Amino acid sequence: IAGITQAPTSQILAAGRRMTLRCTQDMRHNAMYWYRQDLGLGLRLIHYSNTAGTTGKGEVPDGYSVSRANTDDFPLTLASAVPSQTSVYFCASSEGAGASNEQFFGPGTRLTVL
Amino acid sequence: GQNIDQPTEMTATEGAIVQINCTYQTSGFNGLFWYQQHAGEAPTFLSYNVLDGLEEKGRFSSFLSRSKGYSYLLLKELQMKDSASYLCAVTSNDYKLSFGAGTTVTVRA
């Protein structure tokens, strides 16, 4: 049982380059999320999707875009990376978008933008 | 928005008890989660509270007081493997999670 997978595990990227972080889940969960985790700030929501075909903005969406073409995949794209986007990115999913739904997290992608 | 506060670090001895406090201010409240995160790993679910009171799950318990905007996570019979960060997260009216910065617990032999 894979759960949630993310790729790549880590990446060093030159500023200005485009980058897509991949996230795939095999639990048939309806809701998916992207967070970034920075020291001292905790996890912050970037974008979310309550169900396939819909997306929404979280707390820190600027500079990022997402798509949800199907249930399993939820890629996060940085159109033109900047050093402030250096962070650890976690993808998560939950069965539904309701308040009590436990979120399951992927292993994370460590991104460094130089 | 949400304002979630928890201590940055705590240290305890193997076999002891540690209580991690979390206070929150939110425009709407729909529940509080605790997650555990070992260094370099993903967060994993520990507990969910939506009603006042204590929820016990093995060595871990979580308490909620909605009127006080307060929760704690109690870790009993500490083991070395409990060394990790513990994240308090609140669900508000939009059903999205807002996380505190996390409390790093170090268990010493």
What confidence tens digit (pLDDT) does each residue in B33-91 have?
Answer: 999 999 999 999 999 999 999 999 999 999 999 999 999 999 999 999 999 999 999 99
Share of chain A above pLDDT 90, in %: 89
- pLDDT score of B1: 52
> Which residues, at least 6 apart from A94, have a Cβ–Cβ distance to it below 8 Å?
A29, A30, A31, A33, A101, A102, A103, A104
Determine the pLDDT at residue A40.
86
Mean pLDDT, residues B81-105 taken together: 94
Mutation pick from A30, A43, A51, A94 vs chain B, by most beta carbons of B within 10 Å, is A43
For residue A25, list its beta bridge partners. A4
Q: Which residue of B has its CA nearest to A39?
A: B101
> Given this model, what pLDDT does residue B9 score?
97
For the segment A102-114, the average pLDDT, to the nearest whole number, is 97
Is the predicted pLDDT of residue B2 greater than 90, yes or no?
A: no
DSSP state of B81: G
Q: What is the pLDDT of residue B95?
A: 82
A27 pLDDT higher than 90: yes
Confidence of residue A90 (pLDDT cuts 50, 70, 90): very high
A vs B, Cβ pairs < 8 A, gives 50
Alpha-carbon distance B48 to B88, whole Å?
10
Question: For residues A103 and A23, what is the distance between their CA atoms, to the nearest angstrom?
Answer: 14
Question: Over 70: is that where the pLDDT of A1 sits?
Answer: no
* Cis amide bond preceding B7, omega within 30: no
Per-residue pLDDT averaged across A66-90, rounded? 98
Residue of B nearest to A4 (CA): B42
Q: Cβ contacts (< 8 Å) between A44 and chain B: which residues?
A: 99
Which chain B residue has its CA at the smallest distance from A6's CA? B42
Contact status, residue A103 vs residue A23, Cβ threshold 8 Å: no
Cβ-defined contact of B101 to A41 (cutoff 8 Å):
yes
What pLDDT sits at residue B26?
A: 87
Helices (H), chain A: none
B87 to A42: CB separation less than 8 angstroms, yes or no? yes
Average pLDDT for A81-104: 94
Which B-chain residues 42-81 have CB contacts (< 8 A) with chain A? 42-45, 48, 50
| CA A92, chain centre distance (Å) | 7
Q: Which residue has the higher pLDDT, B83 or B93?
A: B83
pLDDT at A97 (0 to 100): 86
If you average pLDDT over residues A79-89, what whole number do you get? 98
